[in-house]
């Protein structure tokens, strides 16, 4: 799998990373997590993203990694403004990153304190392409794209009941990209390759609770870079349709 240096850090990361929120929020069992991580690592991933607030995600990942801990870069998050009732500040870090979107993310870049930025970038979330990524590139920051396939929200025929998916679902309805009518894997491939083509993005952390997704998504990237003309079509459609309220979704 293709790897990219994460900004000015010494970490060379796989373009596809393991998103660790679903396993926590959807309460995956230890055996499922072991299978998920095992398959992800065997597919060439070396980035695992988690957070103190993703319920038991950190502990599940810790238990599942075992002797393979040295094969990955572990990204986690702490310091939530609301607090989660647990002392979550840590001392054992090599680099610090900021996770967020919009003007706050821009401020995080400008303040010069952070090595990396984790922010939403996808076919349904393009604010970062102009607001933050060019500046992050200028400053040599590592960029981790979160929610990189917009939760594949186009899969749902009706508005999903889960609020987390609703904004992207509505945006994608309005954007109505022709490629979303391709077979599911074709649409995911275009969405993921669009995110990874964004200047400044080094890795895209995809969430799933299905182990078979890792080899599947790794295979989708074998098609290589998305052609420039297709990228421009997606950008043009966004410029035409996006409303002012379509800011970076947390």
Ligand X SMILES: NC(=O)c1ccc[n+]([C@@H]2O[C@H](COP(=O)([O-])OP(=O)(O)OC[C@H]3O[C@@H](n4cnc5c(N)ncnc54)[C@H](OP(=O)(O)O)[C@@H]3O)[C@@H](O)[C@H]2O)c1
Least distance from C-beta 164 to ligand X, angstroms? 7
Q: Which of 9, 39, 116, 118 binds ligand X (CB under 6 A)?
A: 118
Q: Restricting to residues 161-220, name those near ligand X by CB under 6 A.
A: 184, 188, 205-210, 213, 216-217
Q: Is 141 in the site for ligand X (CB under 6 A)?
A: no
Q: Is 151 in the site for ligand X (CB under 6 A)?
A: yes
Max CA separation in the chain (angstroms): 50
The torsion angles phi and psi of 144, rounded to 5 degrees, stand at: -110, 115
Q: Is 248 in the site for ligand X (CB under 6 A)?
A: no
Q: Which of 49, 58, 125, 127 binds ligand X (CB under 6 A)?
A: 49
Q: Is 21 in the site for ligand X (CB under 6 A)?
A: yes
Q: Is 59 in the site for ligand X (CB under 6 A)?
A: no
Closer residue to ligand X in complex, CB, 152/201 = 152
Q: Which of 7, 97, 148, 211 binds ligand X (CB under 6 A)?
A: 148
Residues of this chain that bind ligand X (CB under 6 A): 19-22, 49, 77, 99, 118, 146-152, 184, 188, 205-210, 213, 216-217, 250
């Amino acid at each position: 799998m293709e790897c990219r240096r994460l900004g000015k850090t010494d970490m060379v990361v796989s373009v596809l990373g393991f998103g660790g929120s679903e396993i926590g929020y959807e309460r995956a069992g230890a055996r499922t997590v072991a299978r998920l991580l095992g398959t992800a690592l065997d597919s060439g991933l070396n980035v695992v993203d988690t957070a103190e607030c993703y319920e038991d995600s950190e502990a599940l990942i810790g238990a599942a990694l075992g002797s393979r801990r040295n094969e990955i870069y572990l990204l986690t998050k702490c310091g939530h403004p609301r607090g989660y009732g647990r002392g979550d500040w840590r001392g054992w870090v090599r680099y610090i990153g900021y996770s967020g979107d919009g003007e706050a993310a821009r401020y995080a870049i400008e303040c010069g304190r952070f090595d990396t930025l984790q922010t939403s970038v996808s076919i349904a979330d393009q604010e970062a392409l102009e607001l933050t990524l060019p500046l992050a590139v200028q400053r040599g920051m590592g960029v981790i794209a979160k929610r990189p396939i917009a939760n594949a929200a186009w899969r749902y025929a009706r508005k999903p009941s889960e609020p987390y998916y609703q904004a992207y679902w509505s945006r994608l309805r309005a954007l109505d990209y022709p490629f979303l009518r391709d077979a599911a894997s074709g649409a995911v491939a275009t969405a993921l390759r669009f995110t990874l083509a964004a200047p400044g993005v080094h890795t895209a952390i995809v969430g799933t609770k299905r182990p078979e997704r890792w080899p599947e998504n790794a295979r989708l990237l074998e098609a290589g870079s998305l052609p420039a003309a297709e990228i421009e079509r997606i950008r043009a459609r966004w410029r035409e349709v996006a409303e002012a309220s379509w800011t970076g979704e947390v």
